[in-house]
């Protein structure tokens, strides 16, 4: 089994009066997009800053592609891209000049070509000549994302990348992250807006008060939660469908016109069996969706909601 691209072991970060990150262990493999979820103050940003080397760790180790932060910080810098939750830009430089600064710093080959690519990836090609101070917050956010992508890092740490983006920007960001995932990049992305992360994260790590509450693939987490929230819609035989549901380990059944939502206690096989029963009994099922697989549901069930 190959070593994970990002491995955080027993990470602890202390601030005066508070343990910001406490004994955090997390591994993220190549091609994983891992959502770091938690309420404000959970320690997401501190974790990212500690992983990138901007925050001093009390204990623990961070490895990127086998290189340890404490021993080989230079190797880490070449493999890691960090996008902070605010937009540090040179106001008096144009978008293109801003990227040129970092392209030179990273010694990126074929600088201008790569800058063009990154501007295109972040939908800023038209703004390449605009001064950074003229850009909106969302555009600055995208520019900083472009800067992070410039050296083509193996591991990306994105701290609240969508916080300043409009709905269209968020959709584009989602597409971009999926592209990165397909390209085998490892992405650790934090947010407290869970709908932002749904759809492209295949892993999640839930933090609360500096501690990791749980982590794993979305499916694993859904199973760990035990009871799944399901949603079903049908076109006919509603009464019959309800009868079937009531007798099959279903709890908290809420009926609606031509459908219902319920919590299911069994495993995946039992759930498949339930769907099969409905179909065999002649119910025309038009939608069968496990809302227990989405991050919001997992987060709410994880017990980490006290601070929300």
Least distance between other proteins and beta carbon 151 (Å)? 8
- Which is nearer to other proteins, 97 or 117 (by Cβ)? 97
Q: How far is the CB of 82 from other proteins (least distance, A)?
A: 6
C-beta of 118: minimal distance to other proteins in Å?
A: 15
Residue 54 or 253: the one with the smaller Cβ distance to other proteins is: 54
DSSP letter at 94 equals B
Q: Which is nearer to other proteins, 101 or 284 (CB)?
A: 101
- Helix H, strand E, coil C: the string for 116-139 is HHHHHHCCCHHHCCCEHHHCCHHH
Instruction: Kindly give the pairing relationship between strand 67-68 and strand 18-28.
Output: unpaired
Interatomic CA distance for residues 65 and 276, integer angstroms: 45
The Cα-based distances of 221 to 99, 197, 215 in angstroms read: 39, 15, 7
Report d(CA 303, CA 295) in Å as an integer: 13
- The minimum distance between CB 53 and other proteins, in angstroms, equals 7
Tell me whether residue 8 or residue 241 sits nearer to other proteins (CB atom). Answer: 8
Tell me which residues touch other proteins (CB under 8 A): 10, 12, 14-16, 23, 52-54, 56, 58-60, 74, 77-78, 80, 82, 84, 86, 88-90, 92-93, 97, 101-102, 104-107, 147
Q: Which is nearer to other proteins, 55 or 261 (CB)?
A: 55
144 neighbors 156 (Cβ within 8 angstroms): no
Which among 164, 152, 218 is positioned nearest to 191, based on CA atoms? Answer: 164
Considering the complex, state which of residue 15 and residue 120 has its C-beta at the smaller distance from other proteins: 15
Three-state DSSP class for 273? helix
CB of 306 to other proteins, least distance (A): 23
The residues that bridge with 288 in the sheet, in sequence order, are 232
- The least distance separating other proteins from the CB of residue 170, rounded to whole angstroms, comes to 23
- Kindly report the number of other CB atoms within 10 A of residue 74's CB atom: 7
Whole-angstrom CA distances from 262 to 16, 176, 230, 259, 292 are: 46, 34, 5, 10, 10
* Least distance to other proteins, CB of residue 108, Å: 10
DSSP per residue, 53-93: TSS--SEEEEEETTEETTT-HHHHHHHEEEE-SS----TTS
Of 101 and 276, the one with the shorter C-beta distance to other proteins is 101
């Amino acid at each position: 089994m190959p070593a994970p691209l990002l491995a955080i072991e027993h990470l602890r970060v202390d601030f005066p009066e508070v343990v910001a990150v406490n004994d955090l262990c997390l591994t993220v493999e190549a091609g994983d997009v891992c959502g770091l979820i938690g309420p404000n103050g959970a320690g997401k940003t501190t974790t990212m800053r500690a992983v990138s080397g901007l925050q001093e760790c009390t204990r623990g180790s961070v490895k990127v592609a086998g290189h340890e932060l404490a021993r080989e910080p230079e190797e880490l810098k070449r493999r890691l891209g960090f996008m902070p939750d605010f937009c540090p830009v040179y106001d008096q430089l144009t978008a293109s000049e801003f990227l040129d600064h970092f392209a030179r710093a990273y010694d990126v080959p074929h600088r201008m070509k790569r800058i063009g690519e990154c501007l295109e990836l972040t939908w800023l090609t038209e703004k390449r000549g605009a001064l950074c101070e003229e850009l909106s917050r969302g555009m600055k956010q995208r520019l900083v994302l472009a800067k992070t992508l410039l050296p083509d890092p193996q591991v990306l740490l994105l701290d609240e990348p969508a916080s300043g983006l409009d709905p269209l920007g968020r959709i584009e960001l989602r597409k971009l992250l999926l592209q990165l995932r397909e390209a085998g990049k490892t992405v650790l992305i934090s947010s407290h807006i869970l709908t932002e992360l749904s759809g492209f994260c295949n892993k999640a790590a839930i933090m609360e008060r500096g501690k990791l509450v749980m982590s794993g693939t979305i499916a694993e987490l859904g199973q760990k939660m035990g009871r799944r929230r399901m949603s079903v819609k049908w076109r006919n035989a509603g009464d019959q469908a309800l009868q079937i549901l009531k007798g099959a380990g279903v709890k908290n059944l809420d009926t609606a016109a031509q459908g219902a939502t319920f919590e299911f206690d069994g495993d995946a096989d039992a759930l498949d069996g339930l769907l099969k029963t409905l179909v065999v009994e002649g119910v025309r099922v038009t939608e069968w969706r496990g809302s227990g697989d989405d991050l919001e549901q997992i987060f709410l069930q994880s017990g980490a909601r006290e601070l929300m």
